Amino acid sequence: MEIDRADGRQPNQLRPLSCSHNFLNRAHGSARWSHGDTTVIAAVYGPKSGKKTNENPKKASVEVVWKPNTGHIGRDEKEYEIVVKRTLESICLLTVNPSTTVSVILQVVDDDGGLLPCAINAACAALVDAGIPLKHLAVSICCGLTESGFVVLDPTKSEEQSLQAFTYLVFPNSFRSVLPGSPLSVEIGPFENGIITSTTHGVMSVENYLFCIERGRSASAALSEFLRKSLTKWNESNS
């Protein structure tokens, strides 16, 4: 089952990841995340007092502003805003600071496919940087299905256009037990088997979708390991 990818990657090989933290001075937290050539900057302000009407006063709310690299804000950007907002709301501890708003501003720097997953990863790293209380982290990935029925991970923009279907998935990151005395171990529990967010484009069979989830999940372990390492490194250099 060999398939050729334009950039010579294996089907389940991700593009090189990079992540830097806290490079914006005024923001309470910021992060820059890249999947290959796709780069998104996230800035977090908050928790600020006050919030929109019509929302639950016992909970904090998350506000997401999406800035495209070119052009106006259209329907796609509005949809991205809601997807990121709902995803972040489900990983934040909203009851800690009731009646406040956390603003997340996402600036697209470069779009080479998998923009939404990159933005979610950037937003998540920026939330950690700003010290917003979170239940757990989330990692996001794009899985594509080729015409011949193979699953490829993290497709570039030109690959995305030739795919039969692709899906953006968000998984919770894997837990690591930090009990004193016991060796550090990454456990795959029932917790990681869930998906937080899923959006799909194109038609595929249900079996293929479940296959995409499975492949995405195994890759999400590597992603969450990368996120954890980069956060630890930043923490150490900061202290």
The reply to whether 39 sits near other proteins by the rule CB under 8 A is no
Q: Does position 93 bind other proteins by CB under 8 A? A: no
Question: Applying CB under 8 A, does 18 fall inside the site for other proteins?
Answer: no
- Residue 172 makes contact with other proteins by CB under 8 A: yes
Question: b vs e for 130-168, b when ≥16 Cβ sit within 10 Å of the residue's Cβ?
Answer: bebeeeebbbbbbbbbbeeebbbbbbbeebbeebebbbb
Instruction: Yes or no: say if 44 and 82 are a contact pair by the CB < 8 Å rule.
Output: no
**Nearest to residue 37, comparing CAs of 144, 161, 157?**
157
Question: Would you count residue 54 as binding other proteins (CB under 8 A)?
Answer: yes
Does 6 contact other proteins by CB under 8 A?
A: no
CA distance 140 to 209: 16
Cα gap 218→212, rounded to integer Å: 10
Based on the shown chain and the rule CB under 8 A, indicate whether residue 3 belongs to the binding site for other proteins: no
Of 173-202, binders to other proteins (CB under 8 A) are: 190-191, 193-202
Helix (H) / strand (E) element for 197: namely strand 197-201
Give the per-residue contact string, 142-171, with other proteins (x = CB under 8 A; - = no). Answer: -----------------------x-x----
Per CB under 8 A, residues contacting other proteins are: 54, 75-76, 78-79, 82-83, 85-90, 165, 167, 172, 190-191, 193-206, 208-210, 213
